[in-house]
Amino acid sequence: MNWEMLAAIAQLAAAIGVIPSLIYLAAQIREQTKERRRAAVNVLIGQWSALLKSMIDSSEFADIYLRGLQNFDELLPAERVRFGAFLVTSFKTFEGMFHYKLDGTLDLSLWEVIERTMTDLVSYPGTQAWWEIRRRWHRQDFAAVVDRIIAEGHEPSAFERFLPN
């Protein structure tokens, strides 16, 4: 065997040795991507939970929320601000989840649950009145989803029995 043959065998062995390293690296990158996606979704779920906690912790806000769902315009100015801030935060969270769905971070089955939640919220006349005013605060692709839900004319959920007459 000459030196050229040994050099060729050594290069072949080195090339073959790189393949497992590349496979390992690809697996690590894939796992890190999954973990980043989970973390992003967990942040949004945490925001949503904190938002709901505000209603749990304040009977005053729960009352504003129930009245706001029925008629946004009949709320007092400070109540409109509070109810509107709740809706802004809710819809910004929904919008974040929508964009995670678009880029594949959010599982389609989870998005379907989120869209049903959003449908329940947007089916109330007070939410729709607020949406008319604040629609422009959202990206067009997300606003089109909300507009579609409104156009479908869903009835408010059974939650309506808790609303004031």
Structural domain spans, the chain: 41-162
Evaluate if residue 11 carries a pLDDT over 70. Answer: yes
pTM of this prediction? Answer: 0.71
How confident is the prediction for the chain on average, in pLDDT? 83
Question: For the chain, what is the total number of helices (H) and then of strands (E)?
Answer: 6, 0
Q: Which residues contact 105 (CB under 8 A, 6 or more apart)?
A: 37, 40, 41
User: Alpha carbon of 101 to those of 10, 137, 148: distances in Å?
Assistant: 48, 20, 17
Considering just the CA atoms, what is the radius of gyration of the chain in Å? Answer: 26
At 118 the pLDDT is 92
Amino acid at 10: A
Q: Are 61 and 54 in contact (CB under 8 A)?
A: yes
Evaluate if residue 43 carries a pLDDT over 90. Answer: no
More confident residue, 81 or 154: 81
At 32 the pLDDT is 74
What proportion of the chain, given as a percentage, has pLDDT over 90? 41
